[in-house]
């Protein structure tokens, strides 16, 4: 096969939500963009709670209007200590109206979000779709050359690695990753509810991890049930009726009789942190840049902030006739993302550790902290705002 060698300002490798959002935002900013990814339906029934800053970003990309009707608003978040230990934290309730917002965000099926992103990507003349997977990636002084499994070759001055936790682009850039398995697994599935969720997300804290019920449209919800791997495998293997019974017990029947919908996913939890998020004309976004447990709905929200920041930085660089893959541009992205990723990863890790710890002093500190957040309104409002987006982004 004769290779066609195509030059671009930016190549985005990976067609998940973070990659699609990056490609759209960069093309919107005026860059000539190649999106290297197979067009495929989203593989499972997982959902994402998009917090305020994420939906604002998607509105700017003209994406949110295409899928907002398939989402459910999150107006209340309840944290319930269900660990049955000697020291228990009080229940804490966060209400979006307390910080002047209609909702903290919106929960949506990843497949619906991906379809909306694909629809917008198809409209952009500055965005070229290269169907297929990257096979080799070679970084150089002036560009990065990508060869695909379908025989296409292209070059770009900057590569956005959105190719997941086993990122080929990250390896090509020589970026090392620290991986920490957590000894927990997450089972995800959706439910039809016997009672209305009233747009409230409820998170039960068990000795093995959180079990979270997040609203979906039509009196449904998504479930993320974190447990020890063997217990998660046992739950995964249950019949729909037996899993529904286990859910009713875990949720203390607050949703009445529930029905398990088709489709379940099970995956091990880990924290993965690259030593850099930009190097050798490659920047990392999404799970190539950070892998965290599904606590606090931070994963894809961080990925969308990655996309937002790289588009802004590349736009500024190109307006001043800079090379978008130059070291100075990569340095801006590194500085923009490092503190957000590090602080969120640390907070999620500490929250998870405090939940799993059998040490009474740790349980006491956690209980007091939850009590203070619940009782002191300014502290509670601060926690709500920081949970939605970093303070530096709200002030910029």
Mean pLDDT, residues 271-280:
96
Residue pair 63/120 in contact (Cβ under 8 Å)? The answer is: yes
How far, rounded to the nearest angstrom, does the alpha carbon of residue 186 sit from its chain's CA centroid?
15
**Dihedral sign for Cα atoms in the order 32, 37, 42, 48:** negative
229 in a structural domain: no
Please determine, for residue 199, whether its predicted confidence score (pLDDT) is greater than 90: yes
Residue pair 69/111 in contact (Cβ under 8 Å)? The answer is: no
390 in a structural domain: no
The Cα–Cα gap between 19 and 164 comes to 9
Residue 355: per-residue pLDDT: 64
31 in a structural domain: yes
98 in a structural domain: no
Residue 346: per-residue pLDDT: 87
Range of the domain at 283: 5-48+109-179+271-359
Which of the residue ranges 95-99, 126-130, 236-240, 278-282 would you say has the lowest mean pLDDT?
95-99
| Number of domains making up the chain | 1
User: What are the pLDDT digits (tens) for 75-93?
Assistant: 998 888 877 665 666 778 8
216 in a structural domain: no
The three-class DSSP label of residue 270 is strand
Between 146 and 2, residue with greater pLDDT: 146
User: What are the pLDDT digits (tens) for 25-53?
Assistant: 999 999 999 999 988 776 778 899 998 78
Residue 62: per-residue pLDDT: 97
Give the confidence band of 74 by pLDDT, cuts at 50, 70, 90. very high
Residue 306: per-residue pLDDT: 97
302 in a structural domain: yes
User: What are the pLDDT digits (tens) for 116-139?
Assistant: 999 999 999 999 999 989 999 999
Q: Which long-range contacts (CB under 8 A, 24 or more apart) does 97-104 make?
A: 98/377, 98/380, 98/381, 98/384, 99/381, 99/384, 99/385, 101/52, 102/73, 102/75, 103/52, 103/73, 103/74, 103/75, 103/199, 104/49, 104/51, 104/52, 104/74, 104/75, 104/77, 104/384, 104/387, 104/388
Please determine, for residue 102, whether its predicted confidence score (pLDDT) is greater than 70: yes
351 in a structural domain: yes
Mean pLDDT, residues 175-201:
95
User: What are the pLDDT digits (tens) for 219-264?
Assistant: 999 999 999 999 999 999 999 999 999 999 999 999 999 999 999 9
Between 271 and 44, residue with greater pLDDT: 271
Q: What is the CATH number of the domain that holds 113?
A: 3.50.50.60
Take residue 131 and report the two structure tokens written for it: 């169907």
> What average pLDDT is seen over the chain?
88
Mean pLDDT, residues 320-342:
95
Q: For the whole model, what pTM was predicted?
A: 0.89
Give the confidence band of 394 by pLDDT, cuts at 50, 70, 90. very low
Please determine, for residue 356, whether its predicted confidence score (pLDDT) is greater than 70: no
Residue 82: per-residue pLDDT: 79
Residue 1: per-residue pLDDT: 31
95 in a structural domain: no
């Amino acid at each position: 096969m004769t290779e066609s060698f195509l030059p671009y300002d930016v190549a985005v490798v990976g067609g998940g939500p973070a990659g699609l959002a990056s490609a759209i935002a960069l093309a919107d900013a005026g860059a000539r963009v190649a999106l290297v990814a197979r067009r495929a339906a989203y593989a499972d029934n997982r959902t994402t709670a998009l917090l305020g800053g994420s939906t604002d970003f998607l509105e700017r990309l003209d994406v949110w209007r295409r899928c907002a009707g398939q989402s459910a608003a999150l107006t209340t978040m309840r944290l319930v200590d269900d660990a049955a230990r000697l020291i228990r934290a009080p229940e804490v309730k966060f209400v979006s109206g307390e910080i002047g917002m209609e909702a903290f965000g919106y929960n949506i099926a990843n497949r619906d979000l991906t379809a909306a992103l694909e629809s917008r990507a198809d409209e952009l003349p500055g965005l070229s779709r290269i169907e297929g997977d990257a096979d080799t990636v070679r970084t150089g002084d002036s560009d990065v050359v990508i060869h695909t499994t379908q025989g296409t070759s292209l070059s770009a001055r900057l590569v956005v690695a959105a190719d997941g936790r086993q990122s080929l682009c990250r390896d090509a850039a020589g970026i090392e990753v620290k991986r920490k398995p957590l000894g927990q697994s997450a089972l995800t599935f959706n439910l039809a509810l016997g009672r209305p969720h009233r747009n409230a997300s409820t998170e039960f804290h068990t000795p093995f991890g959180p079990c979270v019920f997040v609203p979906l449209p039509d009196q449904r919800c998504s479930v993320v049930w974190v447990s020890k791997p063997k217990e998660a495998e046992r739950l995964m293997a249950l019949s729909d009726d037996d899993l529904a019974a286990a859910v009713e017990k875990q949720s203390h029947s607050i949703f009445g009789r529930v029905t398990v919908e088709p489709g379940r996913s099970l995956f091990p939890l880990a924290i993965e942190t690259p030593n850099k998020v930009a190097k050798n004309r490659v920047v990392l976004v999404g799970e190539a840049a950070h892998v965290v447990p599904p606590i606090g709905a931070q994963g894809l929200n961080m990925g969308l902030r990655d996309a937002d920041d790289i588009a802004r930085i590349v736009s500024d660089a190109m307006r001043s006739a800079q090379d978008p893959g130059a070291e100075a541009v990569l340095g801006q992205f590194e500085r923009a993302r490092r503190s957000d990723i590090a602080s969120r990863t640390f907070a999620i890790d500490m929250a998870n550790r405090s939940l799993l710890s059998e040490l009474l002093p740790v349980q006491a500190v956690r209980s007091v902290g939850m009590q203070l957040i619940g009782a002191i309104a300014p502290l509670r409002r601060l926690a709500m705002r920081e949970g939605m987006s970093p303070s530096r982004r709200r002030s910029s």
